[in-house]
């Protein structure tokens, strides 16, 4: 199975900060990489699909980049409602895998 | 409005069985792949398995951690899919979500999720 490794596992940042989360695949997955946000007690919600495409209704402060094995999720200006956990997920192989998650806290 | 509603969770003893259901509405269920994803308490997301659609002969995929113990099936006439879980272990304790897959620009991703149902495996 393809392993997905996210970093950092957690971060604390202030409102207005630029936040970057990275995700590395154990083999090339082209651009078959998606990012999800999950709030406590809720189901995940897709933010970015195909590495860099913004899902409809998602604020433009969220962006994704990368291809092959290295990917990045960026929040250009952190907002109070952006707290929660973020997961990358590969859809390249038949067996999908998630990164272990990054917990984002607001200072 | 697209909706996915899971049911069937509860407390079960190690070695026991449980069947989860996922009822869909608001879209053409038979067109879509549907997956199960679980989340152990305080942990991350773990992909469990998939049912492809009729066009792909309802083929299934499973994570290594559940292969041989869990079985996914679906009934398009009822707009429902199922997760039969046998030989349950304490490590299977989790909230189980069903999620719809959509394809955009040749990329597959989950665009709608259910609210989840909690399965607790404990003696």
What is the per-residue pLDDT across A49-79, written as a single tens digit (0 to 9) for each? 999 999 999 999 999 999 999 999 999 999 9
Residue A11 bridge partners (DSSP) = A104
Residues in B closer than 8 angstroms to A45, CB to CB, are: 113
Q: Which of A32, A87, A97 sits opposite B107 (nearest CB)?
A: A32
- Closest Cα in chain B, distance from residue A29 (Å): 11
Q: What pLDDT does residue A7 have?
A: 98
Under a CB-based contact definition with an 8 Å cutoff, are residues A75 and A84 in contact?
Answer: no
A34/B111 CB distance under 8 A? no
Question: Tens of pLDDT along B58-114?
Answer: 999 999 999 999 999 999 999 999 999 999 999 999 999 999 999 998 899 999 999
A2 to chain B: closest CA residue: B63
Of B43, B110, B91, nearest in space to A101 by CA? B43
Q: Residue B50 pairs with which residues in a beta bridge?
A: B35, B61
Of A43, A101, A40, whose CA–CA distance to B6 is shortest?
Answer: A43
Q: How much is the pLDDT for A46?
A: 98
Read off the pLDDT of residues B1-55 as tens digits, 9 standing for 90 and up.
999 999 999 999 999 999 999 999 999 999 999 999 999 999 999 999 999 999 9
Please name the residue that has the structure tokens 């973020």: A86
**The pLDDT of residue B79:** 97
Ramachandran bin of B15, using left for φ above 0, alpha for ψ from -120 to 50, beta for the remaining angles: left
Nearest CB to A43: which of B97, B105, B108? B97
Query: Among partner residues B61, B97, B110, which is closest to A95 by beta-carbon distance?
Result: B61
pLDDT for A102 equals 98
Q: What is the pLDDT of residue A29?
A: 97
C-beta atoms of B107 and A94 within 8 A? no
A55 and B111 within 8 Å at the Cβ level: the answer is yes
Low-confidence ranges of chain A (pLDDT < 70): none
Cβ-Cβ contacts under 8 Å, A85 against chain B: 44
Looking at residue B105, its pLDDT comes to 84
């Amino acid at each position: 199975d393809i392993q997905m490794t996210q970093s950092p596992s957690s971060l604390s940042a202030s409102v207005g900060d630029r936040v970057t989360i990275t995700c590395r695949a154990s083999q090339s997955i082209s651009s078959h990489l998606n990012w999800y946000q999950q709030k406590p007690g809720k189901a995940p919600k897709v933010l970015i699909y195909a590495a860099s495409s913004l899902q409809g209704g998602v604020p433009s402060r969220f962006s994704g980049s990368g291809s092959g094995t290295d990917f990045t999720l960026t929040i250009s200006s952190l907002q109070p409602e952006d707290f929660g956990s973020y997961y990358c997920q590969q859809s390249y192989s038949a067996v999908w895998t998630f990164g272990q998650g990054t917990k984002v806290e607001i200072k | 409005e697209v909706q996915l509603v899971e049911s069937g969770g509860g407390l079960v003893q190690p070695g026991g069985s449980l069947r989860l259901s996922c009822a869909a509405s608001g879209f053409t269920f038979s067109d879509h792949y549907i997956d199960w994803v679980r989340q152990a308490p305080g942990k991350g997301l773990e992909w469990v398995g998939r049912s492809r659609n009729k066009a792909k002969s309802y083929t299934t995929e499973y994570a290594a951690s559940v292969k041989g113990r869990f079985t996914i099936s679906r009934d398009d006439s009822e707009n429902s899919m199922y997760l039969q879980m046998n030989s349950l272990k304490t490590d299977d304790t989790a909230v189980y979500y069903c999620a719809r897959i959509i394809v955009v620009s040749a990329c597959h991703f989950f665009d709608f999720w259910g609210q989840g149902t909690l399965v607790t495996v404990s003696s």
